Amino acid sequence: MIFQSCFFKTIPASESRCVTHSPAMFDSMRKRSKIDANGPINVEELLKLSQGKAVQLLSSRPNNSYVQITTNLILSEYSSTGISYVTDSVIAEYSGCSLCIVDVAKKKVLRISGYKSDEIEPNRVLDLNDEGERWEGDVLDGKPCGWGVLYDTENRILYEGFSFASGYACFGRKYYSDIQQVEYEGSWCEGMRWGRGIQYDRTGKVVYDGEWIDDEHMKNKLLINSEMDIGCNLPIHNWLEEIEVGECSCCYEYLRALNLHDMTSLKRLVIRSHCFDNVIGVMLADMPSLESVLIEDECFTMDDNEDFLTCFSFGVKRCPRLTTLDIGPGSFPHYSIFQLEDLPSLKEISFSSWCFRTANLILKGACGGEE
């Protein structure tokens, strides 16, 4: 589902409350979305679920979601931030302990964490500061909460759409306030452009029409280099198709495990030479699009002083499209477990000298078409 206007016009501040979404706008959403790829979600049933189950259901629909997973590789913890398009007009935003679900067509909040939606006060005027900025719209506990219009000190529109404590959310329009032209129209998450959206220049010309993540144009490839400290903050989104780790990267002492799973769009993983020196466990699992894994020479080697009585393990599980696993010389020399499970398309396993010198090979399920 894509929230996109099929026309553009200047909207005077005096008319801001009369802004509506055209039928053509929602037709455009349907044509460009993949909302039916996993079957419809019943909104009423969704609203009855606990927050955890609701987020799990929403984020499990990759074609309809834009989710960034921030990993803590030290603690093996994961947190998800993103939006999901539930129906042609219903959007959900979630991050950490928060979840809100809105109906854009009705300009209504259907669910918000910690409150009942009927506690929201509509059509309120809220002074935001002494300079004269104000919010006109839905309010909860003295703060913007729902649909409304944000005005600057000179009574010009800055933003129209949903806004919560975390900032602009779900869907809205941001304006060039001095000329009252739309600067951006589309989805938001925690005050950042997120999901489908259109960016305009000051003349109304489209600058970018596409996907956004974390306030930036969405990229399908992630490059990790030696200067990046990924231990506590590795942002990975569900539309990534390729991850490449550059030479001599990710060799921090605290980095002990590499777990990549449930990355539904990832097709290719490349790890260049001399990476992950101190990692003692690797697991690649539940990635339905993954086709190839390349790990070059002398990766996952461990420090010479490491206690080699520790069980080091490498595993690849439930990646139905994986065809090639290529490991260069000198990688995983001290790993004792090499496990492959449910890889029905696997055609080629290649590794050179000094790889898995003492490892036990464990095969489970269909691997390479064999049971």
The b-or-e profile of 175-206 (16+ CB within 10 A means b, else e) is bbbeebbbbbbbbbbbebbbbbbbbbeeeeee
- DSSP class of residue 370 equals B
Helix, strand, or coil (residue 26): helix
- Per-residue pLDDT tens, the chain, 371 aa: give them: 222 222 222 223 333 333 333 333 334 433 344 434 456 788 999 999 988 888 888 877 777 888 887 765 555 556 788 999 999 899 999 987 789 999 999 999 999 998 988 999 999 999 999 899 999 999 999 999 999 999 999 999 999 999 998 899 999 999 999 999 999 999 999 999 999 999 999 999 999 999 999 999 999 999 988 777 555 556 688 899 999 999 999 888 878 888 888 888 999 999 999 999 999 999 999 999 999 999 999 999 986 545 555 678 999 999 999 999 999 999 999 899 999 999 999 999 998 888 998 888 888 876 765 54
pTM beyond 0.85: the answer is: no
Answer positive or negative: Cα dihedral of 20, 25, 27, 29. negative
pLDDT at res. 3: 25
Helix, strand, or coil (residue 16): helix
Task: Compute the distance between CA of residue 369 and CA of residue 150 in angstroms, rounded to an integer.
Answer: 59
Helix, strand, or coil (residue 218): coil
CA-closest candidate to residue 185, choices 299, 311, 176:
176
pLDDT at res. 75: 53
Report the C-alpha dihedral over residues 154, 155, 158, 162, rounded to 10 degrees: 150
CA-closest candidate to residue 223, choices 193, 205, 249, 204:
249
CB-CB contact of 147 with 16 (8 Å): no
CA-closest candidate to residue 128, choices 161, 158, 154, 151:
151
Neighbours of 12 (CB within 10 A): 10
- DSSP class of residue 129 equals S
Q: Residue 67: what are its φ and ψ, rounded to 5°? A: -120, 130
Count, residues in the chain: 371
CB-CB contact of 111 with 96 (8 Å): no
pLDDT at res. 257: 86
Neighbours of 255 (CB within 10 A): 18
Helix, strand, or coil (residue 304): coil
Structure-token pair, residue 336: 């004792």
pLDDT at res. 10: 27
β-strands 157-164, 134-140 pairing: unpaired
pLDDT at res. 226: 79
β-strands 268-271, 292-295 pairing: parallel
pLDDT at res. 240: 92
Q: Which residue has the tokens 């800055």?
A: 158
What residues pair up with 362 in beta bridges, in sequence order?
339
Structure-token pair, residue 36: 């039916």
The b-or-e profile of 114-144 (16+ CB within 10 A means b, else e) is eeebeebeeebebeeeeeebbbbbbbbeeeb
Task: Compute the distance between CA of residue 280 and CA of residue 307 in angstroms, rounded to an integer.
Answer: 11
Angle at 314 between CA 242 and CA 330, to 5 degrees: 85
CB-CB contact of 66 with 218 (8 Å): yes
Task: Compute the distance between CA of residue 144 and CA of residue 151 in angstroms, rounded to an integer.
Answer: 12
Sequence-ordered list of residues with C-beta below 8 angstroms from that of 368, at least 6 positions apart, any chain: 343, 344, 345, 346, 347
